[in-house]
Protein backbone atom coordinates (compact mmCIF):
# COMPACT_ATOMS: atom_id res chain seq x y z
CA UNK A 1 0.00 0.00 0.00
CA UNK A 2 1.51 3.35 -1.06
CA UNK A 3 1.86 5.79 1.80
CA UNK A 4 1.39 9.53 1.30
CA UNK A 5 4.27 12.02 1.51
CA UNK A 6 3.88 14.85 4.04
CA UNK A 7 2.73 17.17 1.26
CA UNK A 8 -0.09 14.85 0.26
CA UNK A 9 -1.62 14.61 3.73
CA UNK A 10 -4.71 16.61 4.75
CA UNK A 11 -3.83 19.35 7.24
CA UNK A 12 -4.38 18.93 10.95
CA UNK A 13 -4.19 15.10 10.86
CA UNK A 14 -7.76 15.11 9.49
CA UNK A 15 -8.72 11.75 8.06
CA UNK A 16 -11.34 12.19 5.35
CA UNK A 17 -11.95 8.47 4.94
CA UNK A 18 -14.45 7.46 7.61
CA UNK A 19 -14.19 3.85 8.82
CA UNK A 20 -10.82 3.18 7.23
CA UNK A 21 -9.63 1.21 10.25
CA UNK A 22 -10.93 -1.91 8.48
CA UNK A 23 -7.77 -1.58 6.40
CA UNK A 24 -5.65 -1.93 9.50
CA UNK A 25 -5.23 -5.69 9.62
CA UNK A 26 -4.47 -6.17 13.29
CA UNK A 27 -4.08 -9.89 12.61
CA UNK A 28 -0.52 -9.04 11.57
CA UNK A 29 0.22 -8.37 15.25
CA UNK A 30 -0.14 -12.10 16.14
CA UNK A 31 3.12 -13.50 17.32
CA UNK A 32 3.12 -17.25 17.74
CA UNK A 33 -0.33 -18.20 19.01
CA UNK A 34 -3.81 -18.17 17.55
CA UNK A 35 -7.23 -19.22 18.84
CA UNK A 36 -8.90 -22.26 17.30
CA UNK A 37 -12.69 -22.60 17.34
CA UNK A 38 -14.19 -26.00 18.16
CA UNK A 39 -17.79 -25.69 17.03
CA UNK A 40 -19.14 -28.89 18.63
CA UNK A 41 -18.23 -27.63 22.16
CA UNK A 42 -19.73 -24.15 21.68
CA UNK A 43 -22.81 -23.23 23.77
CA UNK A 44 -23.39 -19.94 21.89
CA UNK A 45 -23.01 -17.80 25.02
CA UNK A 46 -21.23 -15.03 23.02
CA UNK A 47 -18.70 -14.37 25.80
CA UNK A 48 -15.88 -14.51 23.23
CA UNK A 49 -17.70 -12.03 21.00
CA UNK A 50 -18.27 -9.74 23.98
CA UNK A 51 -14.66 -9.83 25.21
CA UNK A 52 -12.77 -9.74 21.91
CA UNK A 53 -11.10 -6.30 21.72
CA UNK A 54 -10.76 -6.44 17.94
CA UNK A 55 -14.22 -7.62 16.84
CA UNK A 56 -12.60 -10.72 15.40
CA UNK A 57 -15.25 -13.29 16.34
CA UNK A 58 -17.14 -14.37 13.22
CA UNK A 59 -20.92 -14.42 13.61
CA UNK A 60 -23.28 -15.72 10.95
CA UNK A 61 -27.07 -15.96 11.24
CA UNK A 62 -26.87 -15.16 14.96
CA UNK A 63 -24.34 -17.89 15.75
CA UNK A 64 -20.62 -17.81 16.54
CA UNK A 65 -18.91 -19.51 13.61
CA UNK A 66 -15.20 -18.95 14.15
CA UNK A 67 -12.37 -16.42 14.16
CA UNK A 68 -11.53 -13.67 11.66
CA UNK A 69 -7.75 -14.04 11.48
CA UNK A 70 -7.38 -10.77 9.52
CA UNK A 71 -8.06 -8.94 12.80
CA UNK A 72 -7.40 -11.48 15.58
CA UNK A 73 -4.24 -10.41 17.48
CA UNK A 74 -3.95 -13.71 19.30
CA UNK A 75 -4.41 -12.09 22.71
CA UNK A 76 -6.18 -15.19 24.04
CA UNK A 77 -9.01 -13.44 25.88
CA UNK A 78 -11.67 -15.47 24.02
CA UNK A 79 -10.07 -18.77 25.08
CA UNK A 80 -9.61 -17.51 28.66
CA UNK A 81 -13.23 -16.40 28.99
CA UNK A 82 -14.85 -19.36 27.18
CA UNK A 83 -17.12 -20.99 29.87
CA UNK A 84 -18.17 -24.18 28.07
CA UNK A 85 -17.41 -27.44 29.91
CA UNK A 86 -14.93 -28.45 27.25
CA UNK A 87 -13.33 -25.27 25.86
CA UNK A 88 -14.72 -24.28 22.47
CA UNK A 89 -11.77 -21.93 21.87
CA UNK A 90 -8.21 -23.07 22.54
CA UNK A 91 -4.91 -21.36 21.79
CA UNK A 92 -2.63 -23.21 19.39
CA UNK A 93 0.86 -22.54 18.13
CA UNK A 94 1.23 -20.72 14.84
CA UNK A 95 4.22 -20.03 12.64
CA UNK A 96 5.05 -16.30 12.66
CA UNK A 97 4.99 -14.59 9.28
CA UNK A 98 4.71 -10.94 8.41
CA UNK A 99 1.60 -10.19 6.39
CA UNK A 100 1.08 -7.44 3.82
CA UNK A 101 -1.13 -4.45 4.45
CA UNK A 102 -0.64 -3.81 8.14
CA UNK A 103 1.20 -1.00 9.83
CA UNK A 104 4.95 -1.20 10.15
CA UNK B 1 -16.39 55.00 14.52
CA UNK B 2 -12.81 55.17 15.75
CA UNK B 3 -12.63 56.47 19.33
CA UNK B 4 -10.00 57.15 21.97
CA UNK B 5 -10.62 55.15 25.12
CA UNK B 6 -8.76 54.93 28.40
CA UNK B 7 -8.16 51.22 28.86
CA UNK B 8 -5.67 48.89 30.47
CA UNK B 9 -4.10 46.01 28.55
CA UNK B 10 -6.63 43.44 29.70
CA UNK B 11 -9.52 45.70 28.74
CA UNK B 12 -8.06 46.27 25.27
CA UNK B 13 -8.01 42.51 24.70
CA UNK B 14 -11.61 42.21 25.95
CA UNK B 15 -12.61 45.15 23.73
CA UNK B 16 -11.03 43.41 20.71
CA UNK B 17 -12.90 40.21 21.64
CA UNK B 18 -16.20 42.12 21.87
CA UNK B 19 -15.64 43.53 18.39
CA UNK B 20 -14.54 40.25 16.79
CA UNK B 21 -17.27 38.36 18.71
CA UNK B 22 -15.86 34.82 18.33
CA UNK B 23 -18.21 31.82 18.39
CA UNK B 24 -16.68 30.39 21.56
CA UNK B 25 -14.66 32.00 24.34
CA UNK B 26 -13.37 29.49 26.91
CA UNK B 27 -11.13 30.60 29.75
CA UNK B 28 -10.29 30.05 33.40
CA UNK B 29 -9.32 33.34 35.05
CA UNK B 30 -5.77 33.71 36.36
CA UNK B 31 -3.77 36.75 37.47
CA UNK B 32 -2.79 38.94 35.68
CA UNK B 33 -5.13 38.01 32.81
CA UNK B 34 -8.26 37.72 35.00
CA UNK B 35 -9.75 41.01 33.86
CA UNK B 36 -9.79 39.80 30.22
CA UNK B 37 -12.04 36.90 31.22
CA UNK B 38 -14.10 38.99 33.67
CA UNK B 39 -14.76 41.70 31.12
CA UNK B 40 -15.76 39.16 28.46
CA UNK B 41 -18.14 37.53 30.97
CA UNK B 42 -19.65 40.95 31.66
CA UNK B 43 -20.03 41.67 27.93
CA UNK B 44 -21.80 38.33 27.58
CA UNK B 45 -24.10 39.06 30.57
CA UNK B 46 -24.89 42.48 29.12
CA UNK B 47 -25.78 40.97 25.76
CA UNK B 48 -22.94 42.75 23.93
CA UNK B 49 -21.52 39.55 22.44
CA UNK B 50 -23.35 36.64 20.86
CA UNK B 51 -20.71 33.88 21.15
CA UNK B 52 -20.71 31.20 23.85
CA UNK B 53 -18.70 31.98 26.98
CA UNK B 54 -17.46 28.87 28.81
CA UNK B 55 -15.65 28.90 32.16
CA UNK B 56 -14.51 25.31 32.81
CA UNK B 57 -12.71 23.93 35.86
CA UNK B 58 -9.11 24.58 34.77
CA UNK B 59 -6.93 26.00 32.03
CA UNK B 60 -6.29 22.50 30.72
CA UNK B 61 -10.05 22.18 30.27
CA UNK B 62 -10.32 25.70 28.85
CA UNK B 63 -7.86 24.82 26.07
CA UNK B 64 -9.66 21.51 25.60
CA UNK B 65 -12.94 23.39 25.11
CA UNK B 66 -11.18 25.65 22.61
CA UNK B 67 -9.89 22.61 20.71
CA UNK B 68 -13.34 21.00 20.65
CA UNK B 69 -15.07 24.20 19.59
CA UNK B 70 -12.50 24.95 16.90
CA UNK B 71 -12.73 21.38 15.59
CA UNK B 72 -16.48 21.79 15.46
CA UNK B 73 -15.87 24.74 13.14
CA UNK B 74 -16.00 27.80 15.37
CA UNK B 75 -13.86 30.90 15.71
CA UNK B 76 -12.37 30.54 19.18
CA UNK B 77 -10.34 32.55 21.71
CA UNK B 78 -8.99 32.19 25.22
CA UNK B 79 -6.82 34.11 27.67
CA UNK B 80 -4.45 33.01 30.41
CA UNK B 81 -1.05 33.54 32.01
CA UNK B 82 1.80 31.80 33.81
CA UNK B 83 0.69 28.60 35.59
CA UNK B 84 -2.48 28.65 33.50
CA UNK B 85 -0.50 28.47 30.27
CA UNK B 86 1.73 25.84 31.86
CA UNK B 87 -1.34 23.75 32.73
CA UNK B 88 -2.48 24.05 29.10
CA UNK B 89 0.84 22.67 27.93
CA UNK B 90 -0.18 19.32 26.41
CA UNK B 91 -3.30 20.87 24.85
CA UNK B 92 -1.23 23.64 23.23
CA UNK B 93 0.61 21.03 21.19
CA UNK B 94 -2.68 19.40 20.22
CA UNK B 95 -4.22 22.70 19.09
CA UNK B 96 -1.19 23.29 16.85
CA UNK B 97 -1.03 19.69 15.62
CA UNK B 98 -4.69 19.80 14.63
CA UNK B 99 -4.06 23.16 12.88
CA UNK B 100 -6.82 24.93 14.80
CA UNK B 101 -6.67 28.72 14.49
CA UNK B 102 -7.30 29.48 18.18
CA UNK B 103 -6.27 32.96 19.39
CA UNK B 104 -5.00 33.40 22.96
CA UNK B 105 -4.22 36.54 24.93
CA UNK B 106 -1.40 35.94 27.41
CA UNK B 107 -0.66 38.44 30.19
CA UNK B 108 2.98 37.32 30.53
CA UNK B 109 3.83 36.30 34.08
CA UNK B 110 6.62 34.48 35.93
CA UNK B 111 6.40 30.76 36.67
CA UNK B 112 6.59 29.20 40.15
CA UNK B 113 8.63 28.45 42.24
CA UNK B 114 8.87 30.78 44.03
CA UNK B 115 5.32 31.87 43.38
CA UNK B 116 5.13 35.33 41.86
CA UNK B 117 2.35 37.11 40.01
CA UNK B 118 4.39 39.72 38.14
CA UNK B 119 5.48 40.06 34.57
CA UNK B 120 8.14 38.11 32.76
CA UNK B 121 8.24 35.93 29.66
CA UNK B 122 8.89 32.53 31.27
CA UNK B 123 5.36 31.33 30.48
CA UNK B 124 5.26 31.91 26.73
CA UNK B 125 8.96 31.11 26.27
CA UNK B 126 8.22 27.76 27.89
CA UNK B 127 5.62 27.23 25.16
CA UNK B 128 7.87 28.31 22.31
CA UNK B 129 8.12 24.86 20.74
CA UNK B 130 4.39 24.12 21.04
CA UNK B 131 3.80 25.14 17.43
CA UNK B 132 1.98 28.42 18.15
CA UNK B 133 2.69 31.71 16.45
CA UNK B 134 3.90 34.17 19.10
CA UNK B 135 3.36 37.93 18.94
CA UNK B 136 4.60 40.31 21.67
CA UNK B 137 3.15 43.76 22.45
CA UNK B 138 4.92 46.84 23.78
CA UNK B 139 1.84 48.65 25.07
CA UNK B 140 -1.97 48.53 25.25
CA UNK B 141 -2.41 49.85 21.72
CA UNK B 142 -0.18 47.13 20.31
CA UNK B 143 -1.97 44.49 22.38
CA UNK B 144 -5.28 45.59 20.81
CA UNK B 145 -3.89 45.81 17.27
CA UNK B 146 -2.01 42.49 17.58
CA UNK B 147 -5.02 40.65 18.96
CA UNK B 148 -7.23 41.68 16.05
CA UNK B 149 -4.56 40.81 13.48
CA UNK B 150 -4.04 37.46 15.22
CA UNK B 151 -7.41 36.20 13.96
CA UNK B 152 -6.52 37.01 10.37
CA UNK B 153 -3.10 35.39 10.67
CA UNK B 154 -4.33 32.26 12.46
CA UNK B 155 -7.27 31.74 10.12
CA UNK B 156 -5.45 32.32 6.82
CA UNK B 157 -5.88 29.18 4.73
CA UNK B 158 -2.13 28.78 4.22
CA UNK B 159 -1.48 29.10 7.96
CA UNK B 160 -4.35 27.63 10.05
CA UNK B 161 -2.17 27.71 13.15
CA UNK B 162 -2.97 29.01 16.65
CA UNK B 163 -1.63 32.41 17.67
CA UNK B 164 -0.81 33.77 21.10
CA UNK B 165 -0.49 37.48 21.79
CA UNK B 166 1.67 38.42 24.76
CA UNK B 167 1.29 41.54 26.86
CA UNK B 168 3.48 42.03 29.94
CA UNK B 169 1.66 41.13 33.14
CA UNK B 170 0.74 44.20 35.24
CA UNK B 171 3.11 46.51 33.32
CA UNK B 172 0.70 46.40 30.37
CA UNK B 173 -2.21 44.26 31.56
CA UNK B 174 -3.01 46.67 34.43
CA UNK B 175 -1.70 50.00 33.12
CA UNK B 176 -4.19 52.52 31.79
CA UNK B 177 -3.40 54.03 28.45
CA UNK B 178 -5.24 56.03 25.85
CA UNK B 179 -6.01 53.50 23.13
CA UNK B 180 -7.37 54.12 19.65
CA UNK B 181 -10.29 51.70 19.41
CA UNK B 182 -11.54 51.29 15.86
CA UNK B 183 -15.21 51.09 14.94
CA UNK B 184 -17.02 47.79 15.54
CA UNK B 185 -18.09 47.45 11.92
CA UNK B 186 -14.60 48.23 10.61
CA UNK B 187 -13.09 45.55 12.84
CA UNK B 188 -15.77 43.02 11.88
CA UNK B 189 -15.10 43.87 8.24
CA UNK B 190 -11.33 43.52 8.75
CA UNK B 191 -11.46 40.07 10.37
CA UNK B 192 -14.27 38.88 8.07
CA UNK B 193 -16.36 35.72 8.38
CA UNK B 194 -14.51 32.63 9.54
CA UNK B 195 -14.95 29.49 7.49
CA UNK B 196 -13.63 26.24 8.92
CA UNK B 197 -12.29 23.84 6.27
CA UNK B 198 -13.18 20.56 7.97
CA UNK B 199 -15.85 21.34 10.59
CA UNK B 200 -16.94 18.36 12.68
CA UNK B 201 -20.47 19.80 12.76
CA UNK B 202 -20.77 19.22 9.02
CA UNK B 203 -22.46 15.84 9.32
CA UNK B 204 -22.69 15.44 5.55
CA UNK B 205 -18.96 14.66 5.51
CA UNK B 206 -17.73 12.13 8.04
CA UNK B 207 -14.16 12.74 9.13
CA UNK B 208 -11.79 11.70 11.89
CA UNK B 209 -9.89 14.37 13.85
CA UNK B 210 -6.72 13.47 15.71
CA UNK B 211 -6.40 9.75 14.95
CA UNK B 212 -3.54 7.60 16.19
CA UNK B 213 -0.37 7.64 14.11
CA UNK B 214 2.24 4.95 14.28
CA UNK B 215 5.83 5.06 13.14
CA UNK B 216 4.65 5.16 9.54
CA UNK B 217 2.71 8.48 9.61
CA UNK B 218 3.57 10.59 12.69
CA UNK B 219 6.71 12.07 11.11
CA UNK B 220 4.86 13.09 7.91
CA UNK B 221 2.03 14.67 9.92
CA UNK B 222 4.48 16.70 12.03
CA UNK B 223 6.26 17.91 8.89
CA UNK B 224 2.88 18.75 7.38
CA UNK B 225 2.04 20.77 10.53
CA UNK B 226 5.23 22.82 10.24
CA UNK B 227 4.23 24.02 6.78
CA UNK B 228 1.49 26.12 8.42
CA UNK B 229 3.82 28.17 10.60
CA UNK B 230 6.37 28.32 7.77
CA UNK B 231 3.72 30.02 5.62
CA UNK B 232 3.00 32.57 8.35
CA UNK B 233 5.69 35.22 7.61
CA UNK B 234 4.16 36.38 4.33
CA UNK B 235 0.69 36.43 5.86
CA UNK B 236 1.90 38.34 8.95
CA UNK B 237 3.41 41.02 6.70
CA UNK B 238 0.34 41.20 4.46
CA UNK B 239 -2.06 41.48 7.41
CA UNK B 240 0.19 44.08 9.12
CA UNK B 241 0.25 46.15 5.92
CA UNK B 242 -3.49 45.89 5.39
CA UNK B 243 -4.11 46.86 9.02
CA UNK B 244 -1.87 49.89 8.54
CA UNK B 245 -3.64 50.96 5.37
CA UNK B 246 -6.99 50.71 7.10
CA UNK B 247 -6.19 52.09 10.55
CA UNK B 248 -2.89 53.95 10.15
CA UNK B 249 -0.76 51.70 12.37
CA UNK B 250 1.56 49.46 10.36
CA UNK B 251 3.10 46.25 11.71
CA UNK B 252 5.92 43.98 10.60
CA UNK B 253 8.19 41.36 12.17
CA UNK B 254 9.96 43.89 14.37
CA UNK B 255 10.37 47.60 14.98
CA UNK B 256 13.65 49.40 14.39
CA UNK B 257 14.19 52.50 16.50
CA UNK B 258 16.98 54.92 15.53
CA UNK B 259 18.85 52.09 13.82
CA UNK B 260 19.79 54.07 10.68
CA UNK B 261 23.52 54.51 11.45
CA UNK B 262 23.68 52.49 14.66
CA UNK B 263 27.00 50.91 15.62
CA UNK B 264 25.58 49.21 18.68
CA UNK B 265 22.11 47.85 19.26
CA UNK B 266 19.89 46.66 22.09
CA UNK B 267 17.34 43.96 21.25
CA UNK B 268 14.42 43.80 23.67
CA UNK B 269 10.76 42.80 23.37
CA UNK B 270 7.49 44.01 24.87
CA UNK B 271 7.07 46.77 27.46
CA UNK B 272 10.78 47.15 28.22
CA UNK B 273 11.25 48.36 24.64
CA UNK B 274 9.31 51.50 25.59
CA UNK B 275 11.75 52.31 28.39
CA UNK B 276 14.62 51.41 26.10
CA UNK B 277 13.46 54.04 23.57
CA UNK B 278 13.87 56.75 26.24
CA UNK B 279 17.36 55.46 26.99
CA UNK B 280 18.22 55.44 23.26
CA UNK B 281 17.01 59.05 22.92
CA UNK B 282 19.21 60.17 25.81
CA UNK B 283 22.20 58.26 24.47
CA UNK B 284 21.67 59.67 20.99
CA UNK B 285 21.60 63.17 22.52
CA UNK B 286 25.00 62.34 23.99
CA UNK B 287 26.18 61.50 20.48
CA UNK B 288 26.21 57.70 20.78
CA UNK B 289 25.29 55.75 17.67
CA UNK B 290 22.95 53.25 19.28
CA UNK B 291 19.61 51.84 18.19
CA UNK B 292 16.88 49.48 19.35
CA UNK B 293 15.43 46.44 17.61
CA UNK B 294 12.14 45.33 19.14
CA UNK B 295 11.01 41.90 17.90
CA UNK B 296 7.24 41.61 17.57
CA UNK B 297 7.07 38.13 16.08
CA UNK B 298 9.03 35.50 18.00
CA UNK B 299 7.47 32.44 16.31
CA UNK B 300 7.99 31.99 13.41
CA UNK B 301 11.35 33.61 14.12
CA UNK B 302 12.24 36.13 11.37
CA UNK B 303 15.89 35.06 11.40
CA UNK B 304 16.99 36.41 8.04
CA UNK B 305 15.30 39.79 8.43
CA UNK B 306 16.70 40.33 11.92
CA UNK B 307 20.17 39.24 10.84
CA UNK B 308 20.09 41.72 7.93
CA UNK B 309 19.01 44.49 10.29
CA UNK B 310 21.81 43.74 12.75
CA UNK B 311 24.72 42.57 10.61
CA UNK B 312 26.07 46.08 10.02
CA UNK B 313 26.41 46.86 13.73
CA UNK B 314 29.50 46.11 15.81
CA UNK B 315 27.96 44.95 19.08
CA UNK B 316 24.49 43.76 20.02
CA UNK B 317 22.99 43.10 23.45
CA UNK B 318 19.98 40.81 23.48
CA UNK B 319 17.81 41.25 26.58
CA UNK B 320 15.68 38.31 27.65
CA UNK B 321 12.89 38.46 30.21
CA UNK B 322 13.19 34.73 30.86
CA UNK B 323 16.00 32.42 31.79
CA UNK B 324 16.74 29.11 30.17
CA UNK B 325 18.43 27.03 32.88
CA UNK B 326 21.39 25.10 31.59
CA UNK B 327 21.16 26.47 28.06
CA UNK B 328 23.80 28.52 26.29
CA UNK B 329 21.91 31.78 26.71
CA UNK B 330 18.25 32.73 26.99
CA UNK B 331 15.70 32.11 24.17
CA UNK B 332 15.82 35.38 22.20
CA UNK B 333 19.64 35.47 22.38
CA UNK B 334 20.11 31.94 21.04
CA UNK B 335 17.86 32.72 18.06
CA UNK B 336 19.59 36.00 17.21
CA UNK B 337 23.13 34.81 17.67
CA UNK B 338 22.31 31.75 15.58
CA UNK B 339 20.72 33.92 12.86
CA UNK B 340 23.90 36.02 12.57
CA UNK B 341 26.29 33.07 12.29
CA UNK B 342 26.24 32.97 8.48
CA UNK B 343 27.16 36.64 8.06
CA UNK B 344 30.68 37.96 7.86
CA UNK B 345 31.42 40.45 9.26
CA UNK B 346 28.93 40.06 12.06
CA UNK B 347 28.53 41.88 15.38
CA UNK B 348 29.54 40.51 18.75
CA UNK B 349 26.40 39.43 20.57
CA UNK B 350 25.92 39.31 24.33
CA UNK B 351 22.94 38.32 26.46
CA UNK B 352 21.43 39.91 29.56
CA UNK B 353 18.56 38.41 31.50
CA UNK B 354 16.42 41.10 33.10
CA UNK B 355 13.12 41.65 34.87
CA UNK B 356 12.39 38.15 36.19
CA UNK B 357 9.32 38.15 38.42
CA UNK B 358 8.51 41.72 37.42
CA UNK B 359 11.84 43.25 38.55
CA UNK B 360 12.06 46.82 37.20
CA UNK B 361 14.24 47.73 34.28
CA UNK B 362 14.96 51.44 34.04
CA UNK B 363 16.68 53.85 31.67
CA UNK B 364 19.88 53.60 33.77
CA UNK B 365 20.05 49.83 33.20
CA UNK B 366 19.85 50.28 29.43
CA UNK B 367 22.59 52.92 29.74
CA UNK B 368 24.78 50.41 31.58
CA UNK B 369 24.23 47.97 28.72
CA UNK B 370 25.09 50.69 26.19
CA UNK B 371 28.33 51.35 28.01
CA UNK B 372 29.27 47.68 27.87
CA UNK B 373 28.40 47.57 24.17
CA UNK B 374 30.64 50.60 23.53
CA UNK B 375 33.53 48.77 25.15
CA UNK B 376 32.90 45.64 23.08
CA UNK B 377 32.61 47.69 19.87
CA UNK B 378 35.85 49.50 20.72
CA UNK B 379 37.98 46.51 21.68
CA UNK B 380 36.24 43.78 19.69
CA UNK B 381 36.47 41.66 22.84
CA UNK B 382 33.67 40.11 24.87
CA UNK B 383 34.49 39.50 28.52
CA UNK B 384 31.14 38.09 29.52
CA UNK B 385 28.67 36.65 27.01
CA UNK B 386 25.89 36.15 29.54
CA UNK B 387 24.85 38.37 32.44
CA UNK B 388 22.01 39.77 34.52
CA UNK B 389 20.58 43.28 34.89
CA UNK B 390 19.44 44.84 38.17
CA UNK B 391 20.24 41.70 40.16
CA UNK B 392 21.85 41.90 43.62
CA UNK B 393 25.18 40.16 43.13
Q: For B56-98, what is each residue's pLDDT tens digit?
A: 999 999 999 999 999 999 999 999 999 999 999 999 999 999 9
Interface probe with A: pick from B93, B162, B221, most Cβ of A within 10 Å: B221
CATH of domain B3-247: 3.40.50.970
Which residues, in sequence order, are CB contacts of B17 under 8 Å at separation 6+?
B25, B36, B40, B43, B49, B77, B147
Classify residue A100: in a domain, yes or no: no
Phi, psi values for residue B112, rounded to 5°: -70, 160
Q: How far apart are the first and last CA of chain B?
A: 53
3-state helix, strand, coil in chain A (%, to 5): 25, 20, 55
Classify residue A42: in a domain, yes or no: yes
Domain tally, chain A: 1
Mean pLDDT, chain A, rounded, equals: 92
Residue among B221, B242, B107, B106 at smallest CA distance from B163: B106
Vertex B70 angle, CA B67 and B76, to 5°: 95
pLDDT of residue A24: 86
Q: Quick check: B81 and B32 in contact, CB under 8 A?
A: yes
- For the stretch B238-257, pLDDT in tens is 999 999 999 999 999 999 99
Domain ranges of chain B: 3-247, 254-388
Q: Is A100 part of the contact surface with chain B (CB cutoff 8 Å)?
A: no
d(CA B341, CA B355): 28
Q: How far is CA B171 from CA A9, B127, B203, B330, in A?
A: 44, 21, 47, 21
Q: Do B216 and A5 touch (CB under 8 A)?
A: no
d(CA B84, CA B29): 8
Interface probe with A: pick from B207, B215, B229, most Cβ of A within 10 Å: B207
Q: What is B254-388's CATH topology? A: Rossmann fold (3.40.50)
- For the stretch A48-76, pLDDT in tens is 999 999 999 999 999 999 999 999 999 99
pLDDT of residue A101: 54
Q: Which domain holds residue A47?
A: 25-93
Domains B3-247 and B254-388 in one fold: yes
Which of A9, A19, A104 shows the shortest C-beta gap to B220?
A9
Q: How far apart are the first and last CA of chain A?
A: 11
> What is the CATH number for A62?
3.30.70.20
Query: Taking 80 as the threshold, does the pLDDT of residue B127 lie above it?
Result: yes
Q: Do B209 and A18 touch (CB under 8 A)?
A: no
Buried/exposed B326-345: b ≥16 CB within 10 Å, e otherwise: eeebbbbbbbbbebbeeeee
Cα Rg of chain B, angstroms = 21
For residue A97, name the pLDDT band (cuts at 50, 70, 90). low
As a whole number, mean pLDDT of residues B353-382 equals: 98
Percentage with pLDDT > 90 across chain B: 99
pLDDT of residue A18: 81
Distance to chain B for A76, nearest Cα, Å: 24
As a whole number, mean pLDDT of residues B230-234 equals: 98
- For chain B, list residues whose CB is within 8 angstroms of any CB belonging to chain A: 97-100, 160, 197-198, 205-211, 213-217, 219-221, 223-225, 227-228
Statement: the pTM of the whole predicted model exceeds 0.80? yes
Q: Is A7 part of the contact surface with chain B (CB cutoff 8 Å)?
A: yes
To the nearest 10°, report the CA torsion of B330, B333, B337, B339: 110
Nearest CA in chain B to A1: B216
pLDDT of residue A47: 98
Distance to chain B for A90, nearest Cα, Å: 31
Query: Taking 80 as the threshold, does the pLDDT of residue A104 lie above it?
Result: no
Chain A residues inside the 8 Å CB shell of B225: 11-12
Mean pLDDT, chain B, rounded, equals: 97
Chain B residues inside the 8 Å CB shell of A18: 206-208
Q: Do A14 and B213 touch (CB under 8 A)?
A: no
pLDDT of residue B279: 98
Q: How far is CA B393 from CA B317, B318, B388, B390, in A?
A: 20, 20, 9, 9
Phi, psi values for residue B63, rounded to 5°: -70, -30
d(CA B242, CA B14): 22
Amino acid sequence: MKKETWKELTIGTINLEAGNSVKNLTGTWRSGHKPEFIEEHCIQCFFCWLYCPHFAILVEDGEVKGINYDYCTGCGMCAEECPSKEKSIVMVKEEVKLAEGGTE
Amino acid sequence: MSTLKTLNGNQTIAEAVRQVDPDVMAAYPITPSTAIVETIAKFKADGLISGEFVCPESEHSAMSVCIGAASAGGRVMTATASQGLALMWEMLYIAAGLRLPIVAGIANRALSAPINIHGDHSDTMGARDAGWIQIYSENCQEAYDNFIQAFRIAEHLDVRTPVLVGLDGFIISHSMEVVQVEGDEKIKDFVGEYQSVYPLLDTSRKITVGPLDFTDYYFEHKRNQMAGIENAPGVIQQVGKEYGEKFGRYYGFFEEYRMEDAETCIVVMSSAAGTCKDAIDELRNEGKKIGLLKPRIFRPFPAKEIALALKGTRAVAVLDRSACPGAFGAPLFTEIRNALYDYDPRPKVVNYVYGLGGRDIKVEHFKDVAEKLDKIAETGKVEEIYGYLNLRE
